[in-house]
Structure 1
Amino acid sequence: MQTREVKRQEDPLPVIGASQPPINHKKLSLIMIGLIVAVSMTNIDSTIVSLSSQAVQSGLGLTASGIQWIVNAYMLAAAATFPFCGHLSDLAGYKRIMLSGTFLFGMGSLCCGLVPANSLSLMLMIFSRALQGIGSAMMFPAAIGILFSYSAENKRAGNMALFFAITGAMTCLGPILGSWLIQYSWRDIFFINLPLALVAIAMIVSMIPKDSPTTEPGSQHIDWAGGLAVGLAMIALIVPIQQGSTVGWSDWRIIASFGASLVLFLVFGFWDSHVDNPIIKLRIFRNPPFDISQLAMLVAAVIFQPIMYFLSVYGLLALNRSTLMTSLFILYFFLGFLVSALLGAQLFNRHGMKPVLLIAGLIAATGFSLMSLTAGSLDKGLPSNTVWLSLSMVVAGAGIGFMFSPSSTDAVNRAINASYGEVTAINQTFKNFGGALGMAMLGPLCTHYFALDIHKALGKYGVSASRAQAIADTIGSGTSAGAQSQFASMPQSMRNMIMPLIRASYASGSSKVFLAMGCLSLLFIPLALLYPRKGKQIFAGKTIKNQ
């Protein structure tokens, strides 16, 4: 049972934008539309690229590992720069940073669409996707700051909830929009961002009043050294995780990269605990409920960010479906996610985070376990029966959706003595770093088991283990048509016999990924048990005691 007692706080938080006068409802609605267009552009992009991975891969002649790096570059760049961008938005002004981020995201999209198909394709695409990630990192804290600054105090919670609900729901448009654009060219999935960016920039310029820096006097600088250390530490950790299975875990470069990551994290911790205005206030993490909510977000992101990629490839390759049918297939996951998100928010408002995490863990683990069982059943004669798979996707999506929004809200509520730009940056850093970590871990896991099953199925036809690994890496994010091109020299009758084995092999590899996601979901349960029953959350200058 939870009761809440609200009282005035003696030392208010440094609430961002508190000095800005509220504006009328009509103008604020137009501002919100501009912000939603800009932020939704980044959410849609994350799913549209996953769905279109095969077209990008074949268009640029990339391997499965290459396309995974293209997906990961965006999240890793965003995670590494979010700490900077949270402080930068507080320091330079939200409107200025929002415009800069939208422009940079648009330029990154343009560069992605113009990447030529040559030996530099992968490097240029990774660079362009990183630009998009940095632009996204600039936009999000600034958008939160603008909304909070210009909303009346009694309207802030409702405006924020509406903003998060709409931008989150826009993620569902990615698969549908991608399936339509991919009929013309894979480059259009990036070019579509250009008119959206122009619309957002026009609305932000015309509607949002001129802002001013909101950081308190005496903190008018950015901790560049600390931000650089933590950003490089994250990169140094992700690279060996993704490359370890390829070059070998005992390779000196892998060991050195892990060592460098550890050293950089220690340097960051030491540095930021000894400077006046650190890039991340480490004392924020002295609040156990805040820490648990952030860890829950990290675990959820490890699952949620990569799931779109694996479901896309599963539909295209294992089920041999069209891009359009695959996009509709993915919507089952989002259906469960969105419906459950509303229920999770209601439970959180009534009873706090503890029961939310417990229920989310049980539902998600059940859903992903069922997905693992049904996805890997292609070799048992069930390739066309996806009813149970669809239902299990709804359950899995419901588990993640149940806790996704509450964990962010709880983290922000409990961050003491930090601006909302800083707290949003920390939350989004965990989210994007989790997504990059998930792709780095689960991508090689899928490719490894895919190659093992290819060798097991085709070894009798003379396909060696190394050849099976090469096949898995080449077609690991492609369609059945792309897979057939790997056996073009074989007679048609032989290809007809091999392709079902290839589809079943990828289905088996995917089932291992879904099982791993189910195991990760179980981590929500110990986090729920560790979550304190009694605590104090501080939000917008008010103290709320939970029992």
Structure 2
Amino acid sequence: MGASAAHGQYGRTYRTHGKWWPLVAITLGNFMLLIDVTIVNTALPRISTGLGASFASLQWVMDIYALALAALLMVAGSAADLFGRRRLYVAGLALFALASLACGLAPGAGVLIAARAVQGIGAAAMFATNTPLLMAAYQGRDRGVAFGVWGGTSGAAAAVGPVLGGLLTEYLNWRAIFLVNLPLTALAVYLTVRHIRESHGDLPRPRTNSAGETPWARIDWPGAASFTVSAGALTYGLMRGGERGWTEGGTLASLAGAGVALLAFVIVERRAPRPLLDLRLLRRPSFAALMAAALLMQAAAFPYLTFVGLWAQDVLGLSPVQAGLAGLPLALTSLLVGALGGRSLQRLAPQLPVGIGLLLVGAGALLHAVLLGDGAGWATLIPGLAVSGLGVGAAMPVLVSAALGAAPPQRAGMASGAVNTFRQLGFVFGIAVLGTVFADALHELTPGAPPAAVRAAYVSGLAHITAVSGVVAVAAGVLVLAVVRRGSEREAGAAAAETGAASVGAGAGAGV
């Protein structure tokens, strides 16, 4: 394709050697941030050995990244609209790269956890901007192609993450799973600066508005702070409760602090002129039920795979690569359903693919609980993972578009941010709750326990957490089938027009 030139907002000229370079830049960043949710899974045993990390520390290595991503996703979207999507995307890439370097050089678990939190902040800036940047870069048929590619790579991240993590861990070092981000982020920054024009939420913003407010003052910082404190305190309280007891002072203080911060968030959002989340949306039964479905599906479908990875390596003796491959049935069946049935699923009343999908996720998890026994191997997981993958593939692509259809058209952006935030929170809370249940099963093990006792404890823990996951997913499916109803054609059509094909891509990132 021939070279062309486009003028940016400040008069700079951006050369575009081929119209698909913006797609490459955005997809590369999106792939990295999504893959880093799960790439750690198969490296956890090596991280534990290398840093002397406790089980609770390993939970935080997984959770803190998703927690920072979830807590800051909505405020990152607001900042991108005000200061520029391209500018925030590049800043997110740079922060993600620096944090990845810190993760790769971490001398201890504390530094690794802190660096993972900073990684999550960078990921929030990247995740909040990649869809708007694609919307600004492409129109018409090209937009559909762009979102199809973006969505496909998002879904692939779920499958590739554990396998890539296993390959890097086994043949290089667990630190390589973070250091590999450095050349990729450098490439993404170069392509973004060279080929993507700046865009804002609407017309370019002046330094101050008619009320004398600077752009920084137009972001709901009190709402962002109270939401972050509430989610973080709740996560910490859940993990601490499993480790030290539910009546221990620190546990009670954390859970109480989470409740107070949540109450503060509600008060702030009701009074804020530009809230992160318009709480009136939650008065709509369909929207509220879909937010619950987003949280509960993510909590039920994916977090237990982290503990499956520990079992596969610590008990079955599989290599990191083999442990990563063990979870492929879920990812592959999910991608297959999404690719072959995506258009047909979007034509159905949303409660059907989402509700039935959740029931399938629950059935798959409950299959694990039934089939797992002392003699179980990784092949025991295949039927349950395949069934759960069918459910994920049916529900995820429809979930975002259904949430958009359940919200007023002028709140489509907020609805999209909210459903992705609830999805990430589901992963965070799933790791915390299931980790507590799993740790309880291992609590009686003593150093030097015989292999039979270790195997029995691990299998018991997996049976318990998959049973919890199954019950949660089934309950969520029943809720969706009972409450969610198709929005008016006007609302759904307007929301779809405003977000283009974004719902396809957002739903395709099944594992994250």
Question: In the alignment, what sits opposite 1:479?
Answer: none
Shift of 1:510: 0.8
> Aligned pair in 2 of structure 1 residues 419, 357: CA closer, same or farther (>3 Å)?
closer
Measured against aligned partners, the alpha-carbon deviations of 1:398-424 in whole angstroms (never above 9, x if no partner) come to 222321121122223443255665443
| AA in 1 matched with 2:172 | Y
The corresponding residue for 2:87 is 96
CA contact (8 A) 1:301 1:432 kept: yes
Structure 1 residue 520 corresponds to structure 2 residue 465: no
Residues 86 and 424 in structure 1, CA contact (< 8 A), matched pair in contact too: no
Deviation at 1:203? 0.7
Which residue identity is paired with 2:122?
A: G
Does the C-alpha gap of structure 1 residues 71 and 173 become closer, same or farther in structure 2, counting only changes over 3 Å? same
Q: CA deviation at 1:341?
A: 2.7
Instruction: Name the counterpart of 1:107.
Output: 98
More relative contact order in 1 or in 2 (CA 8 Å, sep 6+)? 1
CA contact (8 A) 2:84 2:199 kept: yes
Q: Are 2:389 and 1:392 aligned?
A: no
In structure 2, how many angstroms separate the alpha carbons of the residues matched to 1:420 and 1:533? 16
State the distance in 1 between where 2:101 and 2:461 align.
Answer: 34
Shift of 1:188: 0.6
Instruction: Single out whichever of 289-298 and 415-424 deviates more from structure 2.
Output: 415-424
Structure possessing the higher radius of gyration over alpha carbons: 1
Query: Aligned partners of 1:349 and 1:527: how far apart in 2?
Result: 16
| Compared CA separation, residues 387 and 194, structure 1 to 2 (3 A) | same
SS state of the match for residue 118, structure 2? helix
Higher alpha-carbon deviation: 344-353 or 418-427:
418-427
d(CA) in 1 for partners of 2:118 and 2:69? Answer: 9
Measured in 2, the distance between the counterparts of 1:254 and 1:298 equals 23
Q: Partners in 2 of 1:194 and 1:245 — Cα distance? A: 36
Structure 1 distance, partners of 2:66, 2:185, is 19
User: Could you tell me how far apart the structure 1 residues matched to 2:493 and 2:127 are?
Assistant: 19
Looking at structure 1, the residues matched to 16 and 370 of structure 2 have their Cα atoms a distance apart, in angstroms, of: 51
| 1:52 counterpart SS class | helix
Any gaps of 5 or more consecutive residues in structure 1?
A: 1-22, 456-467, 472-485, 488-494
**Mapping for residues 235-384 of structure 1, pairs under 5 Å:** 235-342=232-339, 345-375=342-372, 377-378=373-374, 382-384=375-377
User: Identity, % of aligned pairs?
Assistant: 25
Alignment partners' CA distance in 2, 1:185 and 1:445? 30
Query: Residue 279 of structure 1 aligns to a residue in which SS?
Result: coil
Cα separation, partners in 2 of 1:24 and 1:185, compared to 1, 3 Å: closer
C-alpha distance in structure 2 between counterparts of 1:215 and 1:206, whole Å? 22
Distance 1:215 1:513 in 2: 50
1:193 partner letter: N
How many angstroms does 1:543 deviate by? 8.6
Q: What is the deviation of 1:80?
A: 1.4
CA RMSD, Structure 1 to Structure 2 (Å) = 2.5
Q: What whole-Å deviation, never above 9, does each CA across 1:260-297 have from its counterpart, x for those lacking one?
A: 22222122111221121122222333433322222211
Q: Which region of structure 1 is more displaced relative to structure 2, 356-365 or 206-215?
A: 206-215
> Is residue 2:26 matched to residue 1:35?
yes
Following the alignment from structure 2 to structure 1, what is the Cα–Cα distance between the partners of residues 284 and 145?
26
Does the aligned pair in 2 maintain the 1:360–1:403 contact within 8 Å?
Answer: yes
AA paired with 2:484?
A: Y
Cα distance in structure 2, aligned partners of 1:414 and 1:216:
30
- Give the partner amino acid of 2:387: V
Distance (whole Å) between structure 1 residues aligned to residue 284 and residue 342 of structure 2: 22
Helix, strand or coil: the match of 1:249? coil
Alignment CA distance shift 1:280-1:534 (3 Å): closer
Measure the CA separation in 1 of the matches of 2:253 and 2:473: 31
The within-5 A match list for 1:411-426 is 411-416=403-408, 418=410, 422-426=414-418
Residue 111 of structure 1: how far off its partner (Å): 0.5
Mapped to 2, the partners of 1:97 and 1:135 lie a distance apart of 9
- Taking a change above 3 Å as real, the CA distance of residues 328 and 24 of structure 1, as seen in their structure-2 partners, is same
Deviation at 1:73, TM superposition (A): 0.7
Identify which of 180, 198, 203 aligns with 2:191: 203
Provide TM-score, normalisation by structure 1: 0.81
Distance change in 2, residues 1:344/1:239 (3 Å): farther
Aligned residues: 474
| Corresponding residue SS for 1:186 | coil
SS at match of 1:273: helix
Does the CA contact (< 8 Å) of 1:88 and 1:222 recur in 2? yes
Structure 2 counterpart of 1:530, from 483, 494, 503: 483
Structure 2 partner of 1:57:
48
Aligned residue for 1:135?
A: 122
Q: Which amino acid letter does the alignment assign opposite residue 208 of structure 1?
A: I
